[in-house]
């Protein structure tokens, strides 16, 4: 059973470009969480999605950031007009369908560098 997959693993963008980060949850998982790890900091929650729905985006910056988890395909975290401060590691985690589940399985992360 494949784990959570994220791609690309490393992404370099120039200021003003768009970054698209993909997360494929584990098979059978329909809940996805995105976290951001700024340099030398802990991980901070950004957004929680279920299939086709954003449930909690309280940790996501109001501008330039968006997330989706379509019925088919991976979850996408999109950052428009990137700035140097967006350089970070972005992790996604998935959990199973059951509401009572509390396990989150993390992907390997995408390291975004903005030059």
Partner 1 sequence: AQKVTQAQTEISVVEKEDVTLDCVYETRDTTYYLFWYKQPPSGELVFLIRRNSFDEQNEISGRYSWNFQKSTSSFNFTITASQVVDSAVYFCALSDRAGGTSYGKLTFGQGTILTVHP
31 in contact with partner 1 (CB under 8 A):
yes
Choose the binding region for partner 1 from 13-21, 31-39, 63-71, 80-88 (rule: CB under 8 A): 31-39
Q: How far is the CB of 99 from partner 1 (least distance, A)?
A: 4
Q: How far, in Å, CA of 20 to CA of 27, rounded?
A: 22
22 in contact with partner 1 (CB under 8 A):
no
Candidate list 32, 91, 94, 114; residue touching partner 1; CB under 8 A: 91
Q: Note whether 115 and 11 are within 8 A (CB).
A: no
Q: How far, in Å, CA of 82 to CA of 15, rounded?
A: 5
Q: How far, in Å, CA of 22 to CA of 66, rounded?
A: 12
Phi, psi of 85 (to 5 degrees): -65, -10
- The binding site for partner 1 (CB under 8 A) comprises 31, 33, 35, 41-45, 48, 55-56, 59, 89, 91, 93, 95, 99-106, 108-109, 111
């Amino acid at each position: 059973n494949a784990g959570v997959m994220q791609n690309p693993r490393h992404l370099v963008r120039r200021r003003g470009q768009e970054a698209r980060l993909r997360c494929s949850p584990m098979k059978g998982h329909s809940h996805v969480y995105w976290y951001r790890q700024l340099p030398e900091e802990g991980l901070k929650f950004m957004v929680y999605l279920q299939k086709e729905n954003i449930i909690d985006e309280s940790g996501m910056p109001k501008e330039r950031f968006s997330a989706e988890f379509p019925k088919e395909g991976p979850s996408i975290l999109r950052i428009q007009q990137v700035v140097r401060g967006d350089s970070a590691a972005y992790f996604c985690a998935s959990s199973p369908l059951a509401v009572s589940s509390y396990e989150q399985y993390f992907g390997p992360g995408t390291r975004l560098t903005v030059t």
